[in-house]
Every structure is written in structure tokens, then in C-alpha cells.
Amino acid sequence: MVYSLYLARSYFGGGGHRHDFEYVEVVWNKDANGSWSRSWFLMSTRGKHRGLSRDRAESVSGSDRTTVGRGPAHPRAYVGWGSHAMFNSKGGLKDIVSQLYWREYRSDTYSSWATESGGPVEVADGSEPAARFDAAAGHFGKADSDPARLGRELCSHRIDVDA
């Protein structure tokens, strides 16, 4: 399952570009009994996919959205200062060099829940939303990970595991 976040501007310092999509993926695996469970939480980070096992991801409860610690409840994502990366923890520094070493500033003041704005939209191959993203692909500038393209490439993502 992938949650995409559209950002009208992706920047840090005086640079950057218009339009960007960042996303988080929740990877599910089927066990020997046929039951599905969350196994990985992946975050887009400058063209890579940084991942945490479900037991290491900072999560919140579904009912009151307060921190419950680590585990598979509802993994939490934070947008990085330059809007080029997603993280699973607050912190970091507000300087350009920190962005190159995964230490950029992020906070929880940028709030977005999957239940807001009408809820999730399925962007599957052949669907109307996928066709609309494909038709508009050239209008997003450097943002090339729109939900339709992401859906087609989803199973080929390499995971860079956080230690």
C-alpha cells in the first residue's frame, strides 16, 4: 500500500523545483497460514527507498493519533525540511549539508492523514485516476514519481534498510 503526498514546491536554500511527489509504502507479507501482516515501512528519499522493519517504526494509535511507541500500529511519516524526503522520526538540522546525510530537519507540524480530503484514492493501472496522472505527466517537471508511475514500479523498489 502506498500513500503519495503532492508538494507544490520542493526546495531548500535558494534552489529547488516546482512539483514533487513523496510517498511512504507499507509492505505486507503473507505467512504460511495465509494471513497478511505488515512487514516493512518504506519512505521515499531522493530516489531511494529507506526502510524500517515494522517492529522498529515509530507508530501512533489509530483512535487518538498519539504516539504509542514502536511497532506495526500506524507508522508515522514526517516530511523533511526541503520536501525531498520522508522520515519516521522528528529532529534533524536546518542546513543544506544535513540534507545530504539524512539529517535534515523535520517536524510534525505538516499534518496529513489518509482519512482527510475525501480519503484514499486507488490509482490502479487502467483506472481513471491513473489515466489522468499519465496524461499530465509532462506537467509535473522534475517530479517523476506520480502515483500512476509509482504503482507500475512498486514491486521493483530496492530497500535501503536503516540500521
The domain ranges of the chain are 2-161
**32-36, 49-53, 58-62, 108-112: the lowest-pLDDT one:** 108-112
pLDDT band at 34 (very low <50, low <70, confident <90, very high): very high
Mean predicted lDDT score pLDDT of the chain: 75
Please check the confidence at residue 61 and state whether its pLDDT lies above 70: yes
pLDDT digits (tens, 9 = 90+) for 135-156: 887 777 666 677 888 777 777 7
Residue that is written with C-alpha cell 505527466 in the block: 137
Please check the confidence at residue 163 and state whether its pLDDT lies above 50: no
